[in-house]
Amino acid sequence: MTDKEFSDAIRASIDRIDEGGVSAALAELSTLQALPGVKSGIHIGKPAKFFEGNRRRQMEWFAGQVIDIIEKQSWFAMNSIINACEQNTSLEEK
């Protein structure tokens, strides 16, 4: 999977969650978990330098955070992630 395909898959999941709420988030959990190399809490505690110049690691971290939020049903945090995603183009190909 290319970085663009990976990024597009994450963005599509976020969009479906945004449109469908809690039930959509629960449905998207397995889709996000199926992404290669992604799991809840991935790259937590890594220094910023670990992510520099590596979009894939950045996207893995982001997807891992979304998975963690869904698993813990932290819906306020999900709202924050969606808002950040809407205001930030970091998931888009540069």
Q: What is the pLDDT of residues 51-91, one digit of tens each?
A: 999 999 999 999 999 999 999 999 889 888 888 777 765 55
Q: How high is the pLDDT of residue 80?
A: 86
* 34 in a structural domain: yes
Q: Return d(Cα 79, Cα 39) in angstroms, integer.
A: 20
Q: Return d(Cα 16, Cα 56) in angstroms, integer.
A: 22
**Is residue 65 helix, strand or coil?**
helix
Q: How high is the pLDDT of residue 84?
A: 79
Q: What is the pLDDT of residues 31-45, one digit of tens each?
A: 999 999 899 999 999
Query: Comparing C-alpha atoms, which of 60, 59, 80, 61 is closest to residue 17?
Result: 80
Residue 27 structural domain: 3-87
* 73 in a structural domain: yes
Helix or strand (DSSP H, E) at 45: none
**Is residue 60 helix, strand or coil?**
helix
* 55 in a structural domain: yes
Position 13 pLDDT exceeds 90: yes
* 39 in a structural domain: yes
Q: What's CA 8's distance to the chain center, in Å?
A: 10
* 93 in a structural domain: no
Q: How many domains does the chain have?
A: 1
Q: How high is the pLDDT of residue 9?
A: 94
* 94 in a structural domain: no
